[in-house]
A and B are shown apart, each in its own frame.
Chain A
């Protein structure tokens, strides 16, 4: 069921305590800042958050972590020069970390959306991140068994949605968007523009609307400059 929603607050209102929430973005590119802020305001707590990083500076995911709303992070790269809120919680033992190599993170998310029960990958074989995991030698190569990462909710950002919820992204802001949209039970997308159904070339649709549940338009400075055509429906 696809809904077009007026505000980010309404879009995230159904997120319950204890949910697993995937959040798109790599660096600031593709980060749904407004949806994350709304998640902050809605009060949901005890969250497991799946993101490539663990928050930067004093915004978005970093604030959710600071306020103690995140029980567990599943990510590939939590330590950054400005990840001080995560660092503090981690050293205080107040947040759990599941560290996953970036490609395994992406493939585990993809597997969830694709209904795959798990897969063997050479990435991580022979390292501490494979400890306790099943391994096999396949075609002469050591491989590690990895399982899918499912989520209750995905918060992602795209450039445009049409009336069917079909999405197109912009440049490297695409990153985790398409696979998180497929992996979550309920996918909430913030877009810079909602265009009339039929105005996106079907050949160029990146995320088919079947994966999308809620669309909310957000005026985003980064995306504003590039919306070169099309009117808001």
Chain B
């Protein structure tokens, strides 16, 4: 990605769809992938037939097709977000314990999730704000974070208040420890791992400007 002299690959920060397009492009052909609810679902719009990606939905299906429209809508065929979807040729159905065994057993190549915060060592916080009056609801978030070979996060780099969501240590309750491998944001792509955080590319800003925003030491790709 990018040129030898600069890791800035776009003049402007990326929009939601551009980011989804970038994630889709980075998924290796033939991968088995789970796309989380919300922004990650957009990624499916940009997967090409040539990539031959198989989508998993944790309520019990491999080979999930696009959202169902009109006559295709079938109450017995929904995704994890409870949205009616379609099945592709070669699809399979299985019960919930098998579906989460697929996840926990490390059989999925990539899981794409949203996040409130990601830490320098790849800890993920995306299920609970910790507000005392909030009813906790976790669903499959912890299983998704723990199981896939690679966990990609899609999020804006900053909160509405302008605070970095990539942090030294998560302040929100954790979903998983050391599980995130890449963070796709509107301003940059980060690689996370035991050796720290590397900026792979930036969008509409320089490496130095990203370092200004993020309160932990960053490395240049």
Contacts and interface: CB of A to CB of B under 8 A. Distances in A.
Given A87-B135, A172-B61, A126 B176 contact: yes
Nearest to B143: A103
A106 B96 contact: yes
A175 interface: yes
Interface string B70-111: 000011111100100001000001111101110110000000
Contacts of A122: 104, 146-147
DSSP class of A's interface residues: helix, strand, loop or mixed? mixed
B59 A172 contact: yes
B1 interface: no
B100 A107 contact: yes
Interface residues of B, number: 43
Interface string A152-163: 000000000000
A99 B95 contact: no
B173 A171 contact: no
Contacts of B96: 26, 52, 102, 105-106, 109, 175-176, 179
Interface string A197-233: 0000000001000000000000000110010000000
Contacts of B139: 76-77, 101-102
B133 interface: yes
B147 to A, nearest CB: 8
B117 interface: no
B136 A178 contact: no
Given A122-B146, A222-B76, A106 B99 contact: yes
A175 B95 contact: yes
Contacts of B146: 122-125
27 contacts: A26-B59, A27-B78, A28-B82, A29-B78, A76-B138, A77-B137, A77-B139, A78-B135, A101-B138, A103-B147, A104-B142, A106-B97, A107-B101, A121-B104, A122-B104, A128-B173, A142-B177, A171-B76, A172-B79, A173-B75, A174-B95, A175-B59, A178-B95, A179-B96, A206-B95, A222-B75, A226-B76
Interface of B: 57-61, 74-79, 82, 87, 93-97, 99-101, 103-104, 123, 128, 133-143, 146-147, 173-177
